[in-house]
């Protein structure tokens, strides 16, 4: 565990480069560095060891473990952080060889959420309790949303893809944004007005990460179930990230594990403002050919946001129904709801009442039909 009560601990990072690994070891180590910094540590050094398989006793092999011990002493590191989940025997051997505590990726992720609990089990329990409260809040919010009947689009994606920044840009909101993993834990939902008189709800959820510890998958389910309520999953990814395709795979597998593999999905490739020069233009062209249905945006510069708003409005309106009817004059409140939640295309006032033509969400169409039938 990384101690954040005292001055930041100096961490030495270690990764294995295995033939079967989906991520390049250096890239995975860079992500681990972000996790360590999010947990309050300082990275003082790092190393990648090439192996066909992990060593059963020391993970990296006896000679490499001794070399790491010398580097730890030279750099005055306080802790060694391994990029994989270690067995108790591997952790114990590394600690004996390096003479400093050893923590694995799972421990770092746990520390981000529960830095003050003493034991690994305590950290998991602390996180579960916090997420249980998130689940209760989400259930209350779900009941409120059900009453409104609004279309819900949920942002999903790899950590640091820019989901919170995108939510702020689309909804003119003020959601906390930080350039670190897991900055968003509690689901955040905002009402958003779109072209054509369409109003939807946009929600932001926790970002996914490679090698998410199995002990956390069940705990995260309460937060990620926000996605299960969504009418549309907006998959946000960083267009220029060197591991874009692996990020897409991780998110796809996680969504599949939640039973959401067939849920309608819109791919949004964010941070296109970082695609500069001829190389950036070529990459964008290649991605456009590979993902023809994707929307290219920059949440920071605003590029492509109008296109995204139009696509979201189109997705929401696809479920709407065209209503042509005559309402009595005392149904003014209902007409106002049609204006607010749908698209009132025509309203003629004559001696018979208010003759309307409107496109409205299914629940509002049912309300109109019930009103006419019972009035």
3-class secondary structure per residue, 360-372: ECHHHHHHHHHHH
CB atoms within 10 A of CB 276: 10
Which pLDDT belongs to residue 120?
A: 46
Question: Three-state DSSP class for 355?
Answer: strand
Residue closest to 354 by CA, chosen among 335, 327, 334? 327
Residue owning tokens 């309608």: 264
Over 171-204, what HEC string results? Answer: HCCCCCCCCCCCCCCCCEEEEEEEHHHEEEEEEE
Whether residue 247 contacts residue 156, with contact meaning beta carbons closer than 8 Å, is answered with: no
Burial degree of 318 (CB within 10 A; 0-12, 13-18, 19+): exposed
Q: How far is CA 375 from the centre of its chain?
A: 46
Residue closest to 270 by CA, chosen among 307, 250, 300, 293? 300
Instruction: Give CA torsion, residues 324, 327, 333, 337, to 10 deg.
Output: -10
Element (H, E) at 288: helix 277-290
Question: Three-state DSSP class for 346?
Answer: strand
Q: Specify the long-range contacts of residues 272-278, CB closer than 8 Å, at least 24 apart.
A: 272/239, 272/240, 272/296, 272/297, 272/298, 272/303, 272/304, 273/298, 273/300, 273/301, 273/303, 274/239, 274/240, 275/239, 275/240
CB atoms within 10 A of CB 70: 10
Furthest CA-CA distance within the chain = 93
In angstroms, rounded to a whole number, what is the distance separating the alpha carbons of residues 26 and 65? 19
Task: Tell me where in the chain the CATH 3.40.50.300 domain(s) lie.
Answer: 139-317
Which pLDDT belongs to residue 343?
A: 83
In angstroms, the Cα distances linking 147 to 108, 151, 206, 264, 363 are 40, 12, 25, 23, 10
In angstroms, rounded to a whole number, what is the distance separating the alpha carbons of residues 260 and 228? 7
Element (H, E) at 357: strand 353-360
| CATH H superfamily, domain 139-317 | P-loop containing nucleotide triphosphate hydrolases (3.40.50.300)
Tokens of 120: 């690994």
Q: Which residues pair with 45 in a beta bridge?
A: 12
362 Cβ contact list (under 8 Å, min separation 6): 149, 319, 320, 321
Render each residue's pLDDT in the chain as its tens digit; 375 residues: 455 456 788 999 999 998 877 677 888 898 889 888 877 889 999 999 999 999 999 999 999 999 999 999 999 999 999 999 899 999 999 999 999 999 988 778 766 655 433 344 445 555 566 656 655 655 655 555 544 567 899 999 998 899 989 999 998 855 444 454 444 445 578 888 888 778 888 988 777 777 766 556 655 665 566 688 889 999 999 999 999 999 999 899 888 878 888 999 999 999 999 999 999 999 999 999 999 999 999 999 999 999 999 999 999 988 888 999 999 998 989 999 888 888 888 999 998 999 999 988 888 898 999 888 887
Task: Tell me where in the chain the CATH 3.40.50.11060 domain(s) lie.
Answer: 10-113
Tokens of 208: 């996914």
Tokens of 360: 């409205």
Which pLDDT belongs to residue 176?
A: 45
367 Cβ contact list (under 8 Å, min separation 6): 334, 337
Instruction: Tell me the CATH number of domain 10-113, given options 3.40.720.10, 3.40.50.11060, 3.30.365.10, 3.40.50.300.
Output: 3.40.50.11060
* DSSP at 268: E
Q: Which residues pair with 49 in a beta bridge?
A: 16
Whether residue 308 contacts residue 267, with contact meaning beta carbons closer than 8 Å, is answered with: no
- Dihedral pair phi/psi, residue 213, rounded to 5°: -60, 135
In angstroms, rounded to a whole number, what is the distance separating the alpha carbons of residues 290 and 136? 40
Residue closest to 46 by CA, chosen among 26, 19, 61? 26
Residue closest to 158 by CA, chosen among 241, 273, 216? 241
Which pLDDT belongs to residue 95?
A: 95
């Amino acid at each position: 565990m990384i101690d954040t009560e005292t001055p930041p601990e100096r961490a030495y990072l270690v990764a294995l480069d295995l033939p079967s690994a989906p991520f390049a070891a250096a890239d995975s180590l860079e992500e681990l560095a972000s996790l360590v910094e999010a947990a309050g540590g300082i990275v003082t050094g790092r190393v990648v060891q090439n192996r066909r398989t992990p060593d059963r006793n020391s993970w990296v092999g006896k000679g490499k473990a001794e070399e790491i011990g010398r580097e730890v002493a030279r750099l005055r590191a306080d802790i060694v952080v391994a990029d994989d989940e270690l067995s108790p025997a591997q952790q114990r051997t590394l600690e004996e060889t390096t003479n400093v505590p050893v923590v694995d990726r799972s421990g770092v992720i746990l520390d981000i959420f529960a830095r003050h609990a003493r034991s690994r089990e305590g950290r998991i329990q602390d996180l579960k309790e916090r997420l249980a409260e998130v689940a209760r809040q989400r259930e209350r919010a779900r009941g409120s949303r059900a009453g409104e009947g609004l279309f819900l689009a949920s942002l999903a994606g790899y950590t640091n893809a820019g989901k919170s920044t995108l939510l702020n840009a689309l909804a003119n909101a003020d959601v906390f944004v930080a350039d670190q993993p897991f900055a968003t834990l509690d689901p955040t939902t905002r009402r958003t007005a779109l072209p054509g008189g369409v109003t939807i709800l946009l929600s932001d959820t926790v970002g996914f990460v490679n090698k998410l510890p199995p002990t956390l998958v069940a705990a995260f389910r309460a937060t990620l179930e926000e996605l299960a309520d969504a009418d549309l999953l907006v998959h946000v990814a960083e267009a220029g990230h060197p591991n874009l395709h692996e990020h897409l795979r991780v998110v796809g597998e996680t969504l599949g594990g939640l039973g959401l593999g067939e849920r309608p999905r819109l791919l949004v490739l964010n941070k296109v403002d970082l695609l500069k020069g001829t190389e950036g233009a070529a990459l964008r062209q290649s991605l456009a050919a590979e993902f023809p249905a994707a929307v290219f945006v920059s949440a920071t510069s605003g590029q492509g946001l109008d296109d995204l708003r139009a696509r979201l409005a189109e997705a929401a309106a696809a479920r709407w129904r065209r209503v042509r009817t005559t309402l009595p004059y005392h149904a003014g409140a209902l007409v106002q709801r049609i204006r607010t939640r749908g698209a009132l295309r025509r309203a003629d006032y004559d001696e018979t009442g208010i003759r309307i033509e409107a496109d409205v969400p299914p629940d509002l169409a049912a309300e109109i039909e019930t009103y006419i039938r019972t009035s």
